[in-house]
């Protein structure tokens, strides 16, 4: 499995904390897109892999779990800190679940949105 856990520097003072994310510095690609997921329920999300897309997922508020599966091995991670992220490489099946009510999941993506990059069928993914 090629995923990687990332820890970002936190700049804190009496006013609070700040985390800075920069292309090709602490994020290992050119950031072409970012999106965030919130208002989640008990419904899991994901259930796909990407042919080329690389992404970093950061739970900036609350918590959730992510299952990563490279077709050989499955690993589950809990995302629950705004200064920790996970790099999900291409061709890794992902499922997100167990969202806390206040969960805000920020995703930094290496490519623009392209539905053709998705593999949404698990048996196609395994092939």
Active centre residues (catalytic): 48
Is position 65 an interface residue for ligand T46 (rule: CB under 6 A)?
no
CB proximity list for 19: less than 8 A, separation 6 or greater:
8, 9, 10, 11, 82, 83
Is the CB of 26 or the CB of 44 nearer to ligand T46? 44
Which of residues 17 and 23 has its CB atom nearest to ligand T46 in the complex? Answer: 23
- Residue from the set 46, 62, 71, 82 that interacts with ligand T46 by CB under 6 A: 46
CA 60 to chain CA mean position, Å: 11
Contacts 24+ apart (CB under 8 A), 8-17: 8/58, 8/83, 8/84, 8/85, 9/83, 10/83, 17/82, 17/83
- Check residue 115 and report its DSSP letter: G
Which residues from 78-97 bind ligand T46, rule CB under 6 A? 94
Residue keyed to tokens 């970002």: 8
* Contact positions with ligand T46 (CB under 6 A) in 18-37: 33, 35, 37
Nearest distance, CB of residue 123 and ligand T46, angstroms = 18
Q: Does 110 bind ligand T46 (CB under 6 A)?
A: no
Does 122 engage in binding with ligand T46 (CB under 6 A)?
Answer: no
The sign of the torsion formed by the CA atoms of 114, 22, 56, 104 equals negative
With respect to ligand T46, which residue has the nearer C-beta, 12 or 113?
Answer: 113
- Footprint of ligand T46 (CB under 6 A): 33, 35, 37, 45-46, 55, 57, 94, 107, 113
């Amino acid at each position: 499995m090629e995923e990687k856990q990332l820890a970002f520097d936190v700049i804190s003072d009496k006013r609070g904390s700040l985390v800075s994310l920069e292309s090709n510095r602490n994020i290992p690609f050119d950031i072409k897109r970012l999106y965030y997921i919130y208002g989640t329920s008990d419904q899991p999300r994901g259930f796909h892999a990407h042919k080329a897309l690389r992404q970093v997922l950061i739970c900036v508020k609350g918590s959730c779990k992510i299952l990563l599966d490279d077709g050989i091995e499955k690993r589950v991670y809990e995302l629950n800190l705004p200064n920790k992220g996970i790099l999900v490489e291409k061709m890794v099946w992902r499922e997100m679940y167990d969202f806390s009510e206040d969960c805000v999941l920020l995703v930094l993506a290496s490519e623009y949105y392209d539905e053709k990059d998705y593999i949404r069928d698990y048996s196609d993914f395994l092939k």
